[in-house]
Structure 1
Amino acid sequence: MPRPRSLSTDQLGAAALAVIDRDGLAALTMRTVAAELRMSTMALYRYVADREELTGLVVEQVLGAVDTTAPSAELPWTEQVRTMVERIRVAVAAHPAVVPLTPLHRHRSMSILRWTETVLGILTEAGIDGPHRVVALRALLSYVNGAVQLEHLGPLSGAGTVAMSELPRADFPLLAETARHARQVGPEEEFTAGLDILLHGLTRSIR
């Protein structure tokens, strides 16, 4: 396959993302991305060093469109944080397979760094600082990453939940009952309620 005259990082990221969206994260290799770009694998190495660099471009492709400016300071700090978290959720909703990549690039991705700086500013203004701010930030990141994966890759209404609801009551009475209730909880309700719990806990922790 002929080598294109020039490729931008956006084009490389878009091609890698197309592979992931179509075939899953495990399918992302230098060879599959080269094929997506209609070029040889060796030619692709002229642009990126390895698969890890490709995954970094994918993260930027997905999160680069996230608005990282701070919400209105007139809003309560909890609503400001909620807005920032929702922006991440919306950005990755169409590409949930990318979620596991974000922790790997959290120290290098400019998009993640800008988002994080804004969230840290909101937390600081709310009186959350020092080691407590570290824990608060990581709790928020862990929540949004985990919630998006559960919503798209293991939803409450899936076959696994149905199977758990049918477990023997004598052995798993609470799990079976919880699974039955889970089938009635929609993804929006689950995400919002979970975030409410987290923000409530952060609010109570402010001295």
Structure 2
Amino acid sequence: MPRPKSLSTTRIAAAALAVIDRDGLAGLSMRAVAAELSMGTMSLYRYVTDREQLEGFVVDLVLSDVDTTRPPRASWARQVTILVERVRDAVGAHPAVVPLTMTHRHTTASLLRWSEAVLAALTDGGFTGPHRAIALRTLLKYVIGSIQLEHLGALSGPGTTAMANLPPAEFPLLAQTARHAQPIPPDEEFRRGLSIVLRGLHASQ
């Protein structure tokens, strides 16, 4: 008879997430998670098949509390905005997890439910067929790319400062734009960018 399991998937995922938050995605390994749980690496294999399954557990945990309920009586664009902002809040709290959301998008129940809700909102907006597929992919690209830029190259960071100080004779527009960009807070950057994307999707119908 196998020994009874004493670790839940949630606890394992939480340990893996702690490793990623501390050491980055490159630091994630079965050995590191086992150490986080104060157990031997081989013992962890009683609960997890391999790193790929471990990654899936992490994505599910990060997105498990995302509300996929669409706000009633809201326009399709407002529905999409709210759904996208909820994912941004959840994933943005653990930015190193961002790449995993794409590689596990087809196996993570939470992300599948979110995608279904977004597609329902797009359908309300008249999106169908290939146009709806492209719209969903565009939104995914925007939210994932925005999170990465916010945490790896924030407008308030040294990269923008360096561009603001470029020689104006050689890079007049880039230097001026960077100076305007520096004081823009992350939330405003995200929401105004998303608004542009939604208007573009609507105009392309």
After TM superposition, the score normalised by the length of structure 1 is: 0.93
Structure 1 runs of 4+ with >4 Å offset: none
Instruction: Tell me the CA shift for residue 153 of structure 1.
Output: 2.4
Match of 2:67 in 1: 67
Match of 1:55 in 2: 55
Q: 1:96, 1:153 within 8 Å by CA — same for their partners in 2? A: no
**For each residue in 1:185-207, what CA deviation from the matched residue of structure 2 results, as whole angstroms up to 9, or x when unmatched?**
1101100100110111122223x
Instruction: Tell me the CA shift for residue 160 of structure 1.
Output: 1.1
CA RMSD of aligned residues (A): 1.5
- Cα distance in 2 for residues equivalent to 1:71 and 1:13: 30
**For each residue in 1:51-81, what CA deviation from the matched residue of structure 2 results, as whole angstroms up to 9, or x when unmatched?**
2211111100100110112221x11111011
Match of 2:14 in 1: 14
Instruction: Tell me the CA shift for residue 154 of structure 1.
Output: 1.7
Code of the residue aligned with 2:57 in structure 1: it is L
**SS of the residue aligned with 1:7?**
coil
Report whether the alignment pairs 1:156 with 2:148: no
Code of the residue aligned with 1:196 in structure 2: it is S
Aligned length: 203
- Cα distance in 1 for residues equivalent to 2:81 and 2:4: 43
- Cα distance in 2 for residues equivalent to 1:4 and 1:167: 63
- Cα distance in 2 for residues equivalent to 1:52 and 1:20: 14
Match of 1:80 in 2: 79
Code of the residue aligned with 1:109 in structure 2: it is T
Report whether the alignment pairs 1:113 with 2:86: no
In structure 2, relative to structure 1, the CA distance for the partners of 1:5 and 1:124 (3 Å cut) is closer
Instruction: Tell me the CA shift for residue 30 of structure 1.
Output: 0.8
Match of 2:101 in 1: 102
Report whether the alignment pairs 1:28 with 2:28: yes
Match of 1:91 in 2: 90
Structure 1, unpaired ranges of 5+ = none
Code of the residue aligned with 1:163 in structure 2: it is A
Instruction: Tell me the CA shift for residue 5 of structure 1.
Output: 5.2
Q: 1:66, 1:111 within 8 Å by CA — same for their partners in 2? A: yes
- Cα distance in 2 for residues equivalent to 1:4 and 1:13: 19
Report whether the alignment pairs 1:169 with 2:175: no
Structure 2, unpaired ranges of 5+ = none
After TM superposition, the score normalised by the length of structure 2 is: 0.94
Code of the residue aligned with 1:9 in structure 2: it is T
**For each residue in 1:2-41, what CA deviation from the matched residue of structure 2 results, as whole angstroms up to 9, or x when unmatched?**
x995111101100000111112111111111000000011
Code of the residue aligned with 2:144 in structure 1: it is N
In structure 2, relative to structure 1, the CA distance for the partners of 1:54 and 1:149 (3 Å cut) is same
In terms of mean alpha carbon deviation, does 102-111 or 158-167 score higher? 158-167
Q: How high is the sequence identity, in percent, across the aligned residues?
A: 64
**For each residue in 1:120-148, what CA deviation from the matched residue of structure 2 results, as whole angstroms up to 9, or x when unmatched?**
11111211011000110001111111111
Matches within 5 A, 1:109-148: 109-148=108-147
Code of the residue aligned with 1:63 in structure 2: it is L
In terms of mean alpha carbon deviation, does 171-180 or 131-140 score higher? 171-180
In terms of mean alpha carbon deviation, does 106-115 or 147-156 score higher? 147-156
